[in-house]
A and B are shown apart, each in its own frame.
Chain A
Amino acid sequence: MKLVLRDITKRFGSLVANDAISLTVEPGEIHALLGENGAGKSTLMNVLYGLYQADEGEIELDGVVQHFSGPGDAIAAGIGMVHQHFMLIPVFTVAENVMLGNETTGFAGALDLEAARRRVREISEQFGFDVNPDALVEDLPVGVQQRVEIIKALSRDAQVLVLDEPTAVLTPQETDELMQIMRGLKESGKAIVFITHKLREVREVADKITVIRLGKVVGEAEPTATNAELASLMVGRPVELTVHKEPKEPGAETLAVEGLRVIDAAGRVHVDDVSFTIRAGEILAVAGVQGNGQTELTEALLGLQEHVEGSIRLNGEELVGRSVRHILDSGVGFIPEDRQAEGLVGEFTIAENLMLNRSHGKPFVRHGTLQLSRLEEFAEEKLEEYDIRAPGATALADQLSGGNQQKVVVARELSRDVNLLVAAQPTRGVDVGSIEFIHKQIVAGRDAGMAVLVVSTELDEVVSLADRIMVVYRGRVVGIVPAGTPRDVLGLMMTGERPEGANA
């Protein structure tokens, strides 16, 4: 089925999310939609899926203009969507999830589960999916859950398949498998729209690339284009993709973690017997698929976890059992993985957010009273220094884009006297331009003698920042390897296997 989007315009108040976007996707083609967060990709796809109505423009399938008033219409017309956050019910089986919303029933309204099972098996076989229709979705790995979503779309005879940031949650291996699946789907004549901001994947699998920036199509590119070309199209200016990092001889041991165990209230062990050290002027990057104990590890370092065993020593001082405030005051900087939940107070101004962890005394508080003029001065300074794009220091953090929000967090942490910087997912959901800036700041911190722990699920980020790489799997350390370790080895380690030559 051939999909044509013609001059789609979608406005939200004064904001033009999509400005006359046109796109043609042929059957048997993988069309990559490349753009930064907030560029308007998801809005466009929600228009296509009937979730939003376009203000102008039309959608055409095989030459027929469509009017979708909801996802039901879009599905009936042959459009399938795999959302970034899966829309599956964890306690249902695969077959039940696949039939959900399109249940075939038999006598007296009884569900015809057998038909659904058959359909799952058929599709699995056709595309080599290897999915058991009777498995509970919650028991399946993320990559397989994603396949269930694809099966679900295919079971409604989707001819146009939209994959919204499908690789965000996958391991490198799972990503490779997904690419394989996408190629198979393409061969069977499906039209695929592949939304992403990851350049490498686009070049690997796409037949055609359309780049969107600020709601407009800014260019089309061939898969042969270089990463730098694609990135500059996306950002609108030349971008440095590689982090420039001079080799540096690390100094004294700053952080020593030994036998760390983190247990939650339910008794589950999230971090198990983890030991490592970081020296001054060294970046240790923690690689691993999301949910393998990284969150708990960083929280334990900050004193945010309740049940922690083992020892965390910062310059010789034991931190286990100390309060968050004590740990922050002893020189630990923290960039939390979810800036909106833990990094910022959204309804506070930028200035207030910049003093969030320094509300107990100098330099912003005297005799229990806020020193507002001093704070404002400081904030204006940081706005400039960290290139935070905002109307002013009194703008609310909520009003900033993800990249600028993150810069506020980075500015706050790096403007304190920090020996150890714990950066969890420092560039998640951040635009390419800000990623470049934040990476530079982290490296600058390392060069200034900080010990840095970077946690990232993006292998690119790990590889470009790390002096050493620690791979974690199910709360345990698989190994700590040098920066130059090949990606495929790291990918394998992220699944828990320890290849030869990698020592723990």
Chain B
Amino acid sequence: MSSAVGTEQHPPTEPEKGQQAPEQDRWRAALREILAGSVLTGVLAVLLAILVGSVLIAATDEHVRETAGYIGARPGDFFQATWDAIWGAYTALFRGSVYNTNATSFDQGIRPLTDTAKFAAPLILAGLGVGVGFRAGLFNIGGRGQMLLGGAAAGWVAYQFDLPAVFHLTLALVAAMVAGALWAGLAGLLKARTGAHEVIVTIMLNYVAYYLVFFALSQQSLLQAPDSFNPKSLPAKESAQLPKLLGDQYSLHLGFILALVAVAFAWWLLERSSLGFRIRAVGINPEAARASGINVSRIYVTVMLIAGALVGLAGANQVLGTVTSGVTVDLDAGIGFDAITVALLGRSRPLGILAAGILFGAFKAGGFTMQASQDIPVDIVLVVQSLIVLFLAAPPLVRTIFRLPAKEAK
């Protein structure tokens, strides 16, 4: 904690204290290091990742490799090719995620931006779920499982009942939240009661959820659509679907508004509510929280319930909005894990998660265009995403590269 800088040793601390959970402390210290970083380091990490991505784009480009063969004779060709590859890739990314400059009308040109928002919605919702956990010092790696259960519950309500539109949708959303919350709450309860590490529990619960939903989808008596052999449920009824926001021309649906509401709620919860105050206290210093009369175990359970509800909503967003053709085991589409990245990039701050979610939504929307128009493997986008996290997790590395001063010095 204290860098040895300038100050004398701190008063002797009880040696027994430190031994209680060194493992726990290390996780927490690493998390804090990441979350304490400034906006600047986040931006720099993104820039660095894009830079490294450029190198990869150039390296995988056939034309660049060709020209590299005779770089000695005509170096200009090589640099031109490199520039073309990188410029082409990132402009394609832009066209696919913000505004399509090749479109003939504004209506068409703006469509990529609405796609970005559509892709961002579940990332934001699940990112908030993970982020709220982070603020309490909990690593919720169980986004996938919580999304699956939330999505399955929403899907079931959506095809099973015949209800008035608004009511049906609300019920499906609530079902998703409850299912996600209970699934995550299980991990919270195990941690609070037995001290089981939430990382292990939530990872394992991902598998349990996956095979549980898979099983249910292959049983006619459970979720599987009648007279079908595919592990898939019936499609969501119209009355339970998230309505399109901008007409049928665009795929953007109400999920994005849900995400914005969730951001506002999470902001109030973490920054302004007394519960959030306790959550943050527990996240930074559970010992002090306990000595101040805060029931740390209860906070763990509460936080996991909230986190699971938010991630469950992300599942509902998929089943009721993005892919309404029925519940499958792939409904989480990797969002459960991407949410961790989003939460980290957003420093677990709701507004940061909103920004990070939109950025990653843009990557998703633009990645397809990049592949389609420039023949660049969509994996490059994933590499860039992963590099962002890598640079985020290594603030000293970024600091060294950009020669930023360490902010630790007191």
Interface residues of A (CB under 8 A from B): 12-13, 15, 17, 37-43, 84-85, 168-169, 295, 302, 304, 323-329, 334, 336-338, 340-348, 352, 355-357, 359-360, 364-365, 368-370, 372, 398-399, 402, 425, 428-429
A residues in contact with B9, CB < 8 Å:
42, 84-85
7 more A-B residue pairs beyond the given contacts A304-B291, A356-B289, with a C-beta to C-beta distance below 8 A = A39-B8, A84-B12, A325-B293, A338-B17, A356-B281, A359-B281, A428-B11
Query: For the complex, is B373 an interface residue (Cβ under 8 Å from A)?
Result: no
A398 to B408, CA, bound (A): 11
List 23 A-B residue pairs with CB atoms under 8 Å apart, sorted by A's residue number.
Answer: A13-B405, A15-B5, A42-B9, A43-B8, A85-B12, A324-B290, A324-B295, A325-B295, A328-B293, A338-B13, A338-B14, A341-B288, A342-B291, A347-B32, A356-B288, A356-B289, A357-B292, A357-B293, A359-B294, A365-B274, A369-B272, A428-B11, A429-B11
A494 to B274, CA, bound (A): 45
A281 to B274, CA, bound (A): 34
Q: How far is the CB of B234 from chain A (nearest CB, A)?
A: 40
Contact B10 A342 (CB under 8 A): no
Contact B13 A341 (CB under 8 A): yes
A356 to B288, CA, bound (A): 9
B residues in contact with A364, CB < 8 Å:
274
A residues in contact with B280, CB < 8 Å:
345, 348
Contact B291 A17 (CB under 8 A): no
A residues in contact with B13, CB < 8 Å:
338, 340-341
Name the residue of chain A whose CB is nearest to the CB of B405: A13
Interface residues of B (CB under 8 A from A): 1, 5-14, 17, 32, 36, 268, 272-275, 277-278, 280-281, 284-285, 287-295, 405, 409-410
Contacts A352-B277, A357-B293, A359-B294 hold; do A345 and B285 have CB atoms under 8 A apart? yes
Q: How far is the CB of A4 from chain B (nearest CB, A)?
A: 23
Contact A324 B293 (CB under 8 A): yes
Contact A343 B272 (CB under 8 A): no
- Candidates A343, A369, A398, A402; contact of B291 at CB < 8 Å: A343
A343 to B32, CA, bound (A): 19
Q: How far is the CB of A431 from chain B (nearest CB, A)?
A: 11
Name the residue of chain B whose CB is nearest to the CB of A325: B293
Contact A345 B284 (CB under 8 A): yes
A188 to B11, CA, bound (A): 33
B residues in contact with A365, CB < 8 Å:
274
A399 to B408, CA, bound (A): 10
Contact B288 A370 (CB under 8 A): no
Q: How far is the CB of A95 from chain B (nearest CB, A)?
A: 24
Q: How far is the CB of A174 from chain B (nearest CB, A)?
A: 16
A348 to B275, CA, bound (A): 15
A295 to B9, CA, bound (A): 21
Q: How far is the CB of B340 from chain A (nearest CB, A)?
A: 22
A residues in contact with B295, CB < 8 Å:
323-325
- Candidates B12, B14, B268, B284; contact of A168 at CB < 8 Å: B12
Q: How far is the CB of A261 from chain B (nearest CB, A)?
A: 19
Contact A345 B281 (CB under 8 A): yes
Contact B8 A340 (CB under 8 A): no
A residues in contact with B10, CB < 8 Å:
340, 402, 429
Q: How far is the CB of B90 from chain A (nearest CB, A)?
A: 37
A336 to B277, CA, bound (A): 21
A344 to B284, CA, bound (A): 10
- Candidates B8, B14, B274, B293; contact of A369 at CB < 8 Å: B274
Q: Which of A326, A337, A346, A359 has the most CB of B within 10 A?
A: A359
A365 to B273, CA, bound (A): 8
A residues in contact with B17, CB < 8 Å:
338, 341
A84 to B293, CA, bound (A): 33
A44 to B291, CA, bound (A): 36
Contacts A344-B288, A348-B284, A359-B277 hold; do A38 and B7 have CB atoms under 8 A apart? yes
A residues in contact with B405, CB < 8 Å:
13
Contact A360 B274 (CB under 8 A): yes
Contacts A341-B17, A346-B284, A356-B281 hold; do A328 and B274 have CB atoms under 8 A apart? no
Contacts A369-B273, A399-B410 hold; do A344 and B278 have CB atoms under 8 A apart? no
B residues in contact with A43, CB < 8 Å:
6, 8
A residues in contact with B14, CB < 8 Å:
295, 337-338, 341
Contact A329 B288 (CB under 8 A): no
- Candidates B8, B272, B275, B292; contact of A38 at CB < 8 Å: B8
Name the residue of chain A whose CB is nearest to the CB of B18: A341
